[in-house]
Structure formats: structure tokens, C-alpha cells
Amino acid sequence: MTIKKKILIGYSVSFVLMGLVVVWAVMNLVSLGKATEAILSENYRSILAAENMVDALERQDSSILLLFIGDIEKGITQFRNNEAGFLEWLTRAKDNVTIEGEADLIRLIDTGYTAYRNLFSSLIDHGGSQQSISPSLYSESIYPAFIKVREACISLRHLNEETMYSASVKAGQVAKRAIFSTVVVAALALLIALIFSFALSERIVRPIRSFMEASRKISSGDYTVQVSEEASDELGSLAVEFNQMVRQLDHFDRMNIEQIISEKNKGEAILSSIEDGLIVFDTRLKVTGINPSARLALGLVTTETNSLQCTDIIPDQTVCDLIAKTVETGHHPDIPEEQQIIVLSGGDRDRHYLFSITAIRGRDNHLSGIVLLLRDVTRLKEVEQLKSEFIMAASHELRTPLTSLGMSVDMLLENIPDSLLEKDRELLRAAHEEVHRMKSMVNDLLDLSKIEAGRIELEFESVHVPTIFDHVHAVFKSQVNVKEVKLTSKTVANCPNVRADANKFTWVLTNLISNALRYVDKGGHIHLMAKKVGPHVHLSVSDDGPGIPLEYQSRIFEKFIQVKGQETGGSGLGLAICKEIVRAHGGAIWVESTFGQGSVFTFTLPICQ
């Protein structure tokens, strides 16, 4: 039998029991209705007839009294009218004889009333006038007949009232028995239904409990459990399939456990062999895995790391904040490369590590963890520092001979003899330009090295942007006129002052304008713009030159990078110096360009508070 049939049978039994209770209640109500109807039909009509006969008889007695006071005609008329009424109710009483003794009383009433009528008729027949009607006749013959009939009617009424009261008491007893029997039947039906429901539910739930117990054992790793297959319903079929599934799981477990252990050992060996530090966090920033390189970098001596949080092992709070942000947003943080360096103390010197944060996602694209990679770049930092120091020393040493060489070339140009050939004059002028270009490059290298080494000195003050724009207009006035280029500027209303070193700010702006002038053709346009965006002022230099190819836009601010095919004699250091100066001010610089349609260089400076 299926579970569906079992449930239907359970409901059917409940409905049958409910139907029995309803039928029993209806039968009791019908019985009570019959008892009530008997009271009304058998006794009430006789009581009503007796009441009306008494009333009619009393009116007739009043009619006889009218005869004694002299109103003979009215008395006769009233007597006859009530006589008809009395006879009508007497007939109804005769037709409703239902109880013992009622027929004798009706015969007594009929006989007495006939005698009463005869006395009235004889009174009318012998009298005819007021003198012939004497009071003694009324008191001696008519009144006793009246009292006899009246008492018989009252007896009839009392008899039916007593019978009605007995029927009412009987109906009350019937009602009590009906209530008691209905309650008993309903209680028995409810008890049977509950017992049957408990038995049926226990029969259905018992196999489910065995499934639950088996599932708990399977979840704990016991694949030898089996459930009973005795039931012939859906649960029996489910038990067969469940046992088959458990056997398959047991087979797969025995087959894959060695492979899983092997893969786990292989993964741990790979992680251990990686020179970079790897730390795995869960979504609550708790450490779930760490390789030996990371232990060495962080100076961890304990082997138990599962209870450690990010802040317990990473001294730089910024890294933990970035990991927490990755967990919150589910996306890798976009961090500038220069901000991806953390310094960790280790032994006799500090070590520099380049870190990266990667989100781990499961099959349903749900974030399951975070991987922090620590790459030791201490050697690269040292090499970069050595390179910067070498460039600074070399540039410093080159300044003196270049200065002497430049002075010598300048003196030669000032004292050129007339006999010198034009070709030799061109060579001297070329040497003069190259010496000055080398001096400019050496100065740029020295400035860049100082900035990278943190030796640049900035004098911060409140700078009025329109004043700087006016200054660069004056500086480039002759150059834009010679090249026939239009230089314009615009500042939005209420543009705030910026906190900056005015000289370095002007240097960045003039360098960007110089670059634009190199590439803008005759009749071109260079536009300066300043506007407030949040806590910074965005300053931009746009031009309608040839633009920058997309592959160069991400590298244009690196040292010695020049766009292929657009070299104009620059050193390739100007934009790198601009970037370092803007960073020293706490701002950022970037370029937006479409090749063939011009470029827009934008940098930000903080608002002066």
C-alpha cells in the first residue's frame, strides 16, 4: 500500500467518525423536535379550547344578567352569539381527545352545556317580560348549571396543562440524554481518530527516522549503514535506492581516499616549494593555510595557525583592511603598484614584500576565501636604490664637465672668426644645442633621483589656481604666438585654493603645456581647465594634437618612455617627474587620449583647508 493510500485511509476514518457524530446529533434533534411537537399538537389545542369555552360561557352568563336588568333583546342576542362560539370550541375539543379522562370531561361539558341551554330556552319561552324573570330562578337553577359547565371546562384545561407539563419534563429529559449521548459519541470518535492517527503517523514516520539516523551516520563517515527494505510503499522503494547509494558511496570512498590524500600531499608539497609567501584566509579573516615561506617572512614559530586572525600576523593594518574590503565586495582590490609594498622586520634588516590579494570562488561563484601573496622584492628595491644612487652620482659628476664644455662652446660661438667656414659654424651650433640638451637631461635625472629618494623639499602654501594660469599664459605667450597656437584657460566659479608648492605646481603645468606645444600643429588649440571634485581640484591640459596610441597610455609616465614616431628631442623624463611631484603632493595624474583626436592630461591637488 502506498503512502498516499495510507493517508487517504486515515482521513477517511476521521471523516466517517465525524459523519457518525453528525448523524447521532441529528437523530437526537429529531427526537427532541417530536417531543416538542407532541406538546403543542396534543395539549395546547385542548387548553386553548377550554379557555375559549370558559370565556364564551362567562359572556353567556353576563347575557342572562342583562335579562334581569331589563335588556332582554341584547341579552338574547349576546347569548346566541357566544353560544355559537362555545359550540365551535367544544367541537374542536371533541376532535382533539388525546389523553385519558379527557373524553369524560368533554361529555360532562356537553351534557351540562345542553342543560344550561335548555334552562335559558325555558327562561325565554316562559318569561318574555321582565316581571316573569325572577332572581330565584337564576340562583336556584341557571347559576348552578353555569358553575357545573365552567368547572368542567376548567378541569379540562387543568388536565391538559398537567399533561403538557409532564411532556415538557419528558422533553427536557430527552434533551439531556441527547446532549450526554452526543458528547459521549463525539469523545469516543475523537479518541478513536487520535489513536488511529498516532498509529498511522508512527507507521509512516518510523522509516523516516531510520533514514535520518542513517544520514547522520553517513555524514560522520560510516558508509556501512543500511536501512530496512520491508515496507511495500514508496519508502520501501526509497530504502532500496538509499542502500544502493550508500554502497556506491562506500565504494567511492574506498577508491578515492588514497587519491585525495595523494593530491593533498602534492598540493602541500607545491605550496611548500613556492618561494613566495602564501596565506589563505576564510571570509571571517581567519587563517586557514600558510606555507613555510610566509611563516619565515612573518616570523611565525607556532605550528598552530587556525586560531589566528589577519591582524595577529600582518603588522600592516592597511593589508587587513584591503582583505576585509575584498570579502565585503567580492572583487579584487584595485591597488596602485607603488602602494602594494609592505615592509616586514626580519633579522638584522627590513625586507620589502610586494603583496597581491586574490578572491577564491566555489562552483556557484560564491566567495569561499582570500589568498594573500607575499613576494620578496627586497633585492629589487636594493638594486633600484643602487641604480638611483648611481644615476644621481653620475649625473652630479657629469654636471661639471658639461658646464665647462657648454661654456667653451658658448665662447667659441661668441668669438667665431670670419674665416671659419659655414659648415664649421653649423657644427658649433649643433654642439651647443646637444650640450644644453645633455645639461637639461642631467638636471632632470638629478631632480627625479631626489624625488624618488624622498629628498625633495616642498614648501606647501595656499595657491590661487587662476594666478598660476595667468603666469603660464605669460610664460608661453611668445611661444604660442610663434607657433600660431591658441592657449586658453577656464576655472569654474568659486574654485578653491589648493595646498601645493607653487614652484613645483607651475613646473608640472609648464611641462605638460611644453609637451602639448611639441605635438600640436599650427593653428591648434591648448586648453587649461580647473574644477573642484570632492576634496581635490582636478587640473587638466587638453590639446588637439595627434594623440597617444593606446599601448603607450599605461606607460607614458615611466622613465625614458617616448611614443614611437613622435620623438621631438625630449629626454623622456618630464612626465615621470610630473608623476613623482604630483604624488608628493598627495594627488594623482593620468591621461585620456584617442589616437588622432588629441589628449587630455589631468592631475589632482588637495584643497587647502
d(CA 476, CA 467): 15
pLDDT category, 462, cuts 50, 70, 90?
A: very high
* Average pLDDT value for residue range 389-402: 61
Tell me which of 480 and 385 has the higher pLDDT: 480
- Bridge partners for 343 per DSSP: 352
Output the pLDDT for position 469: 92
d(C-alpha 83, C-alpha 582), whole Å: 134
Are 357 and 371 in contact, with CB atoms under 8 Å apart?
yes
SS3 571: coil
Domains identified in the chain and CATH numbers:
3-195 (1.20.120), 221-273 (no CATH), 274-376 (3.30.450.20), 383-452 (1.10.287), 461-606 (3.30.565.10)
Give the rounded percent of residues in the chain with a pLDDT score beyond 90: 9
Pairing of strands 525-533, 486-491: parallel
Q: Give the mean model confidence (pLDDT) for residues 382-406.
A: 63
CA distances (Å), 502 to each of 241, 493, 575, in order? 82, 21, 18
How far apart CA 600 and CA 590 sit, in angstroms, is: 9
* Sign (positive or negative) of CA dihedral 414, 415, 416, 417: positive
Q: Which pLDDT tens digit goes with each residue over 512-534? A: 998 888 888 888 999 999 999 88
pLDDT tens string 238-282: 777 777 777 777 776 666 666 666 666 676 667 666 778 888 888
| pLDDT higher than threshold 50 for residue 119 | yes
| pLDDT tens readout for residues 28-86 | 666 666 656 655 566 778 788 888 888 888 888 888 877 777 777 888 888 888 888 88
- Strand 277-281 vs strand 367-376: parallel, antiparallel, or unpaired? antiparallel
pLDDT, position 131:
46
Residue 295 has pLDDT above 90, yes or no: no
Contact of 519 with 544, CB cutoff 8 Å:
no
DSSP state of 131: G
The closest alpha carbon to 153, from 93, 206, 193, belongs to 93
Which triple of cell numbers denotes residue 365? Answer: 561563484
Given a cut of 90, whether residue 414 has pLDDT beyond it is no
Residue 129 pLDDT? 47
Lowest pLDDT segment from 106-110, 474-478, 573-577 = 573-577
Residues 498, 537 contacting (CB under 8 angstroms): yes
Residue 473 and residue 457: Cα distance in Å, rounded?
26
Is the per-residue pLDDT at 128 higher than 50?
A: no
Higher-confidence residue of 381 and 56: namely 56
Longest dimension (CA), the chain: 200
Match 588637439 to its residue by C-alpha cell. 544
The answer to whether 589 touches 602, Cβ cutoff 8 Å, is yes
Between 291-295, 458-462, 597-601, the lowest mean confidence (pLDDT) is in 291-295
List the one residue out of 167, 39, 171, 42 whose CA is nearest residue 99.
42
Question: What per-residue confidence (pLDDT) applies to 539?
Answer: 93
Pairwise pLDDT comparison (469 vs 246), residue with the higher score: 469
Query: Which cell numbers in the block locate residue 112?
Result: 351540562
Cα–Cα distance measured from residue 33 to residue 16, given in angstroms and rounded to the nearest whole number: 26
Mean pLDDT of 332-344: 71
As a whole number, the mean pLDDT across the chain is 77
Q: What is the pLDDT of residue 461?
A: 92
Q: What is the mean pLDDT of residues 123-149?
A: 69
pLDDT recorded at residue 467: 92
444 vs 405 pLDDT, higher one: 405
**Cell numbers 610664460: residue:** 475
Least confident of 189-193, 247-251, 452-456, 582-586: 452-456
Residue 65 is predicted with a pLDDT of 79
Spatial contact of 370 and 357, defined as CB atoms under 8 Å apart: yes
The reported pLDDT for the residue numbered 447 is 63
What pTM did the predictor assign? 0.42
Task: Decide: helix, strand or coil at residue 359.
Answer: strand
Determine contact, residues 6/200, Cβ cutoff 8 Å. Answer: yes
Instruction: Enter the C-alpha cell of residue 72.
Output: 332582554
At 130 the pLDDT is: 47
Q: Which of 268, 334, 304, 337 is nearest to 313 (CA)?
A: 304
